[in-house]
Amino acid sequence: MNTRGLRGFVAFSYLWYALWFIAPGLIMLVYAFGRTTGISQHGLVNLSHLGFSNFHTALANPARPILIISLEYTAIATALCGLIAFPVAYFLARKVQPRARAIMLLLVVLPFWTDYLLRMLGWRIFLSPLGLLYDALHGIGLNVASLSILDTRGAVMIGLVYNYLPLFILPLAVVLERIDPFLLQAADDLGASPRTIFRTVTLPLSMPGVIAGTILVFVPMLGDYVTPTLLGGARGLMVGSLIAAQFNEGQNWSLGAAMSIILVLILVGIVVACGAAAVGLRALAGRLRQRALAREMVAS
């Protein structure tokens, strides 16, 4: 493909994206300022009196506590994903042969080949009081009669971590794998203990992976409504289900649109914050390196 053809193709992809992503987004933005129509009126949203009332509703009770709970869940589940993903990614990137690594990475992404809904329903069955988990716990002599897992926040957390973990492992493993082995060797040659090497070389250099993983996990998780709906029951309500309910049973598209816009703004804010953190970290690392260099020169 020549440059012109390539340019045309790129322009087309942008246009395609603009049409099917940005245009619906703009429609939602406009809807968010409208009002829901009465039951006997035509149309979905009445746009004759625009105003901020939907945003007030979306940020007041009962939507606000749900939004806050969702942020909490997502933050905790993302942190758990990171804590679990790090050793796994480290092992994958550094401790196994390339062929074994390929197989293990395949195993990490394998669940994605099965329908997500089906996997969540599988969890429902597994966690139910007559399911395998209870059988197993009962089998090792635990009293499970009063235990409830399904339809609790704990179940939502299990589902969220399970489901988004691969999205954290993959970018982290890639970044860890790319760390130049000579850096580690150099640190070793200069007498750093493995612990010091991890703390001063591996960990700082893995930060781009941590940040990428955080964004990849946090962003879709905050809007997830399948997991909380299927595993959390009444207790696991998250903002995604609340938004879906406005469009469905609520027939209040303008309120649903306002809630979506708020969610998008929060996510943009978080992505920007992560980006700023990445830039800041890089600057900090650069400054530290310069200072170390200067110190060495003074010493010599």
By CB under 8 A, name the binding residues for other proteins.
36, 38-44, 57, 61-63, 65-66, 69, 115, 117-118, 121, 124-126, 128-132, 135, 148, 150-152, 225-226, 229-230, 233-237, 241-242, 244-253
Strand partners, 35: 46
CB 284 to other proteins: min, Å? 40
Give 38 or 141: the residue with its C-beta nearer to other proteins. 38
- Identify the residue whose tokens are 């179940």: 155
| Burial tier of 224 (Cβ tally within 10 Å: 0-12, 13-18, 19+) | buried
Beta strands 45-46; 35-36: pairing state? antiparallel
| Amino acid at position 287, single letter | R
Q: How far is the CB of 102 from other proteins (least distance, A)?
A: 31
Nearest CB to other proteins, comparing residues 209 and 240: 240
The token pair that represents 56 in the structure block: 């007030």
CB of residue 248 to other proteins, shortest distance in Å: 5
- Residue whose CB is less far from other proteins, 39 or 297: 39
Instruction: Find the shortest distance in angstroms from Cβ 111 to other proteins.
Output: 16
Q: How far is the CB of 128 from other proteins (least distance, A)?
A: 5
Q: Give phi and psi for 39, each to the nearest 5.
A: -70, -20
3-state secondary structure 204-226: HHHHHHHHHHHHHHHHHHHHCCH
Least Cβ distance, residue 115 to other proteins (angstroms): 7
Residue closer to other proteins (CB basis): 196 or 251: 251
3 state DSSP class of 143: coil
Question: Is the CB of 51 or the CB of 62 nearer to other proteins?
Answer: 62
Closest CB 144 distance from other proteins, rounded Å: 11
- DSSP character string of 56-102: HHHHSTTHHHHHHHHHHHHHHHHHHHHHHHHHHHHHHHHTS-HHHHH
Min dist CB 43 to other proteins, Å, is: 7
For tokens 């340019």, name the residue: 7
Phi first, then psi: what are they for 36, rounded to 5°? Answer: -70, 145
Nearer to other proteins, 130 or 299 (CB): 130
Cβ nearer to other proteins, comparing 202 with 252: 252
Q: What is the distance in angstroms between the CA of the first residue and the CA of the last residue of the chain? A: 55
Question: Whole-angstrom Cα distance, residue 34 to residue 148?
Answer: 43
Per-residue DSSP letter, 115: -
Nearest CA among 162, 180, 65 for reference residue 111: 162
Q: Closer to other proteins at the Cβ: 214 or 229?
A: 229
